[in-house]
Amino acid sequence: MQVQRRDFLIGSLGLATLTAAPRALAAIYPERPITFICPWPAGGTADSTMRALCASAARQLGQTIVVENKTGGSGMLGLKAMASAKPDGYTIGQIPISVTRFSQLGTVKLDPLKELTYIARVSGQTFGIAVQSSSPWKTLKELVAAAKARPGQLTYASAGIGGATHVGMEEFLLAAGAQMNHIPFKGGSEALQALMGGHVDALADSSSWAPHVQSGKLRLLATWGEKRTSDFKEVPTLRESGYDLVVDAPNGIGAPKGLPPAIETRLREAFKAAAASPEFAAACDKIDAPLMYLDGPDYEKYVEQTYKRETALIERLKLKDLIAKG
């Protein structure tokens, strides 16, 4: 009888210890600064919004979040580094939604459905097609007409091969029945400089072009969202221009797979508050980026749905051939 009572007490203590462990872990996390990997260059639109988001999340967590820019591979180099890190909550980062495409194309060895922890989807991006203000094209239809007249001779810059702006532009050109020569760069800021320097005819990018459109140096021909942007209300969307296409490529926050549940919950709570902060809203408003928050589980479902859509898009646009050609 005493043995049974002793075993019961030991079992109860063990259960209590196991139950208390997650709570204790959440209570002490984070004990040191967290590294946030941004897979885009410093100074770009994604970088600016992620820094504002991290600053707000850091206050929620009571620890510094250090943003580390690890660029290349259309955002996949930084994502792979984050996914390969120790799943202890001290390395997190931005998830480019294009991983659903790159994983199927084989350009990144990472399964987004199995190798990532999803914390939050936070905001979309305002994509658009811009040209120099001195260019002869005043409207998107004029650019299309010029591209049709000289197939493959006009050039456009993007943030990288297979990225949202490259694929979105190719999808638009397919719908328009036109051809342009794609010039890829390592990020939006480099692609912008190529247009500003007159090295390409057009730019397909998120709103890195915004201040230069406002200053009169660049002309915005169309945006790619569901509706016109608040800062450029006079500029039509692709749909309004006659092309049934919407591209928004929401930004998300994630961590390596295997994150302890208590730490995952702590991060989800911190980034939910950060995504609703005035600081983050102001950073998004500055580049006309729509807020598109989803909590971790719903964000994961969104990624699964996007993965299925990308399967069809890869075939329709013959993306494997485009990647092979560079």
User: What average pLDDT score do residues 52-61 get?
Assistant: 98
Average pLDDT of the chain to the nearest whole number:
90
Q: Which CATH class is domain 127-247?
A: alpha beta
324 sits in which H/E element: helix 319-325
Sole residue written with tokens 């397919």: 174
Tell me what pLDDT residue 249 has: 87
User: What average pLDDT score do residues 37-62 get?
Assistant: 94
Task: For residues 134 and 137, give the distance between their C-alpha atoms in angstroms, rounded to a whole number.
Answer: 9
Residue extents of the structural domains in the chain: 33-124+249-319, 127-247
Half-sphere exposure of 53 (CA within 13 A, CB side): 31
Comparison of pLDDT for 232 and 24, the residue scoring more = 232
Nearby residues of 4 by Cβ (< 8 Å), 6 or more positions away: none
The lowest-confidence range among 12-21, 54-63, 156-165 is 12-21
Is a pLDDT exceeding 70 seen at residue 256? yes
Number of H helices, E strands in the chain: 12, 11
Do residues 67 and 50 touch, judged by C-beta distance below 8 A? yes
Distance of CA 12 to CAs 6, 9, 18, 19, 23, Å?
A: 10, 5, 10, 10, 17
Is a pLDDT exceeding 90 seen at residue 15? no
Q: How confident is the model at residue 320 (pLDDT cuts 50, 70, 90)?
A: confident
Task: For residues 259 and 248, give the distance between their C-alpha atoms in angstroms, rounded to a whole number.
Answer: 28
Tell me what pLDDT residue 1 has: 46
Q: Which long-range contacts (CB under 8 A, 24 or more apart) does 146-150 make?
A: 147/173, 147/176, 147/178, 147/179, 147/180, 148/177, 148/178, 148/179
Do residues 202 and 128 touch, judged by C-beta distance below 8 A? no
Tell me what pLDDT residue 267 has: 98
Give the pLDDT confidence of 175-208 residue by residue, as tens digits: 999 999 999 988 888 999 999 999 999 999 988 8
Collapsing DSSP states into helix, strand and coil, what is residue 136?
coil
DSSP symbol at 298? H
The lowest-confidence range among 65-69, 273-277, 320-324 is 320-324
Tell me what pLDDT residue 9 has: 44
∠ CA 32-38-41 to the nearest 5 degrees?
130
Sole residue written with tokens 């967290």: 34
User: What average pLDDT score do residues 110-122 get?
Assistant: 97
Tell me what pLDDT residue 13 has: 52
Tell me what pLDDT residue 33 has: 98
Give the best-scoring range by mean pLDDT among 47-61, 150-164, 307-321.
Answer: 47-61
Tell me what pLDDT residue 3 has: 45
Give the pLDDT confidence of 93-102 residue by residue, as tens digits: 999 999 999 9
Comparison of pLDDT for 70 and 46, the residue scoring more = 70
Give the pLDDT confidence of 280-308 residue by residue, as tens digits: 999 998 888 889 999 999 999 999 999 99
Half-sphere exposure of 99 (CA within 13 A, CB side): 30
pTM of the model as a whole? 0.77
Task: For residues 285 and 293, give the distance between their C-alpha atoms in angstroms, rounded to a whole number.
Answer: 15
Tell me what pLDDT residue 230 has: 87
160: left (phi over 0), alpha (psi -120 to 50) or beta: left
Is a pLDDT exceeding 50 seen at residue 20? no
∠ CA 242-221-163 to the nearest 5 degrees?
85
Query: Quick one: CATH architecture of 33-124+249-319?
Result: 3-Layer(aba) Sandwich (3.40)
For the chain, give the percent of residues with pLDDT over 70. 91
Tell me what pLDDT residue 26 has: 57
- Give yes or no on whether 33-124+249-319 and 127-247 have one common fold: yes
